[in-house]
Amino acid sequence: MDEKVYGARCKDCGKEMYPAHARCPECGSENLEPLEITGEGKVLTYTDLYALPLDYEQRYLRLAIVELDSGLRATGQLLDEKPKIGKRVKTTVGVVRKSGDRKTHGLQFVPL
């Protein structure tokens, strides 16, 4: 799968960020380059969302914020039958939303 998720890295001070901003949150530089969001980390928190949003037909949607080993955090879908705060996971990219014919790719966390 060639879809990837990107944040940004500041080419002046090296600050990494996700999501990307138009200016570096650290030094204010506009000189930013894309940074692929990938790797391992641990679950900071999660929820099982039963009040489903538009576009989802399932019993619930398991969402999480993960703290990556790089220090960045990311929100995404947690594909884990036994979720727990602090549990080790890694990023994958998959279809996170289907709206009509349009498929959106994004981060899905799976246990190590």
Partner 1 sequence: MRPVAVIGAGMTKFGRSEWPLLKLMNVASLAALNDANLGDVKVDGVVVANMGAARLNKQTAIASALVDRLNLFPAMAESVENGPASGASAFKVGYQAIASGMADVVLVTGVEMMRAVNNLEVTDFVASLSHPEAEYIYGVTLPGLAGMFARLYMERYGVTREHLAMVAIKNHANAMKNPYAHIHQTVTMEGILTAPEAVVNNPPIAEPLHMFDCCPVSDGAAAVVLATQEIAEKLGRQVVRVAGIGQATDTHAVHERPDPTELTAVRLAAQRAFSMASLTPQDIDVAELHDAFTILEIAESEEVGFFKKGEGHKALAEGVTSLGGKLPINPSGGLKAKGHPVGATGVAQLVELTWQLRGEAGERQVENAKNAFACNFGGFGNNVVATVLTREG
Residues 26-55 that bind partner 1 (CB under 8 A): 44-55
User: Nearer to partner 1 by C-beta: 13 or 49?
Assistant: 49
Cα distance between residue 56 and residue 88, in whole Å: 26
Among the listed ranges 8-16, 26-34, 59-67, the one in contact with partner 1 (CB under 8 A) is 59-67
Q: Is residue 98 within 8 Å of residue 55, measured between CB atoms?
A: yes
Which range, of 8-16, 28-36, 74-82, touches partner 1 by CB under 8 A? 74-82
Question: In this structure, are residues 96 and 104 in contact, taking their beta carbons and an 8 Å threshold?
Answer: yes
Q: In this chain, which of 12, 15, 16, 17 binds partner 1, going by CB under 8 A? A: 17
Name which position in 74, 89, 91, 93 contacts partner 1 (CB under 8 A).
74
Nearer to partner 1, 79 or 111 (CB): 79
Instruction: Determine the Cα–Cα distance for residues 103 and 19; give it in Å rounded to an integer.
Output: 20
Among positive and negative, which fits the CA dihedral 49, 55, 57, 62? negative
Please tell me the distance from the alpha carbon of residue 49 to that of residue 58, in angstroms, as a whole number: 10
Binding-site ranges for partner 1 (CB under 8 A): 17-19, 44-56, 60-61, 63-65, 73-77, 85, 96-97, 104, 106-107
